[in-house]
A and B are shown apart, each in its own frame.
Chain A
Amino acid sequence: MTKIASDLETLMQQALEGDKHAYAELLRETAHFLRPFLRQKLQADSEVDDLLQEILLSIHKVRHTYDGMRPYKPWAFAIAKYRLLDYLRNHYADRLHSAIDMSVLENALQDNVTEYRISYESISGEVSKLPEKQALIIRMMHQEGYTAKEVAEKIGMTESAVKVAAHRAYKTLKHQLEE
């Protein structure tokens, strides 16, 4: 363990001197010891990979703040934790941003979303302009006649998520048709 740690400092010293091989080795070692740490904090492997790339980029960007004279790992972990917190903050902010008001949801759930007053054919042009998933849901419910529950089963979403997506699509369509 001590040998690896001292190797990391040496590798960084060599990297700061412009040694490309030492730098590549150092980044590999860094990715190797950071990966388990990130796996403990994040669920999906794709998230771990994305964040690991961001951390390596950050290490590259601020490598001048390391002089090779003090332990390398605390420095690398400080950057990793900083990027992890930033990632989690953005992740939850996005989720909060895309969350919908419960009152809207309650209204939507009361609606019979499979009942339509105008024919699908008359608005198919507008439907095609919707986001892919919303268009698919509208098409399945109004052209092919599936219920929200059946659509949910077929496309692997929850029933309430299908209803919410349908509700959003209706709002968009209503807005487009009123213009």
Chain B
Amino acid sequence: MDNIEQLIKTLSNDTAKIQPAPHPYLLSLKWAVATVAYLSLLLVIFGLRPDFLQAIENPWFVVEILALFSIFVATLVTTSLLAFPDIHQKRAIAFAPILMVSMFLVVIFFAWNADHPPASLPDHTYECTLCIILASLLPAVWTFYSLRKLASVHYRLAGGLALLSATSIGALWLRLYEVNDSIIHVVEWHYLPMFVIGLIGLWLGEIVLKW
């Protein structure tokens, strides 16, 4: 008991005015603005796909892009909530990515069925995955860096969602940049690796975010 009292005295003497961390919504807005600015920069540097106007005439392409963007937003918001020990007492909202990923899978299912006859497969394969990884590096590092300043008790989940959020922006950029209508290729080399990297984030979260 004396030790506890002694510790309390030490800690209270050590305290000073402290700025509380921003609200998770504000935090996720900050991250989203920065990431969208980064995506815009990538699109300015590399350009939009030349057939973009033609591509957006395909409703499944538009829905796919929107579903991908919703994954980005949902994972970002949840990551920011998970950065707080008590999930900022908004546990229900933290489940949003499950809904968005389910919606995305439904969209992909319909887009796959609508791809008839199947569009021709591009020559390249793993290069797309590499591009997504490279494009996602900066947002991933920034999100992890920001998360480390906070205190997630769900560090694995936070790591997984942070990486999923970062790779979804990489996948979004590639979808807007690459001239490719093969849904088989997109699923195999864009979206499956995106979710696999999200799973790797579970492991990375344990290493980087544990405190």
* CA A58 to CA B13, docked complex, whole Å: 16
* CA A17 to CA B23, docked complex, whole Å: 18
Main DSSP-derived SS at the A contact region: helix
Q: B167: shortest Cβ distance to chain A, in Å?
A: 26
Q: A25: shortest Cβ distance to chain B, in Å?
A: 9
**Could you say which residues of chain B place their CB within 8 Å of the CB of A74?**
86, 89
Q: B42: CB under 8 A from chain A?
A: no
A18 touches B15 (CB 8 A): yes
**Which residue of chain B has its CB nearest to the CB of A70?**
B89
Q: B16: CB under 8 A from chain A?
A: yes
A53 touches B3 (CB 8 A): yes
With contacts A27-B11, A78-B85 known, is A66 near B17, CB below 8 A? no
Main DSSP-derived SS at the B contact region: loop
A78 touches B20 (CB 8 A): no
B11 touches A70 (CB 8 A): no
B86 touches A75 (CB 8 A): yes
Q: A21: CB under 8 A from chain B?
A: yes
Q: How many A-B residue pairs have CB under 8 A?
A: 87
Q: A55: shortest Cβ distance to chain B, in Å?
A: 10
A49 touches B3 (CB 8 A): yes
With contacts A49-B4, A53-B4, A71-B89 known, is A60 near B153, CB below 8 A? no
Q: Which of B8, B15, B87 contacts A31 (CB 8 A)?
A: B8
Q: B9: CB under 8 A from chain A?
A: yes
Q: A63: CB under 8 A from chain B?
A: yes
A65 touches B21 (CB 8 A): yes
Q: Which of A18, A27, A61 contacts B17 (CB 8 A)?
A: A18
Q: A44: CB under 8 A from chain B?
A: no
A62 touches B85 (CB 8 A): yes
Q: Which of B11, B23, B85 contacts A60 (CB 8 A)?
A: B11
**Which residue of chain A has its CB nearest to the CB of B6?**
A53
Across the A-B interface, give the 9 residue pairs with the lowest CB-CB distance, nearest first.
A62-B151, A24-B12, A18-B17, A82-B153, A78-B85, A67-B20, A78-B86, A75-B86, A23-B12
Chain B residues with a Cβ under 8 A of chain A: 1, 3-4, 7-9, 11-21, 23, 83-89, 150-151, 153, 211
Cross-chain pairs A/B with CB under 8 angstroms, 26 sampled: A15-B15, A18-B15, A20-B13, A20-B15, A23-B11, A24-B11, A27-B8, A49-B4, A53-B3, A56-B4, A56-B7, A56-B11, A57-B7, A57-B11, A61-B211, A64-B18, A64-B19, A65-B85, A65-B151, A74-B86, A74-B89, A75-B86, A78-B87, A78-B153, A82-B85, A82-B153
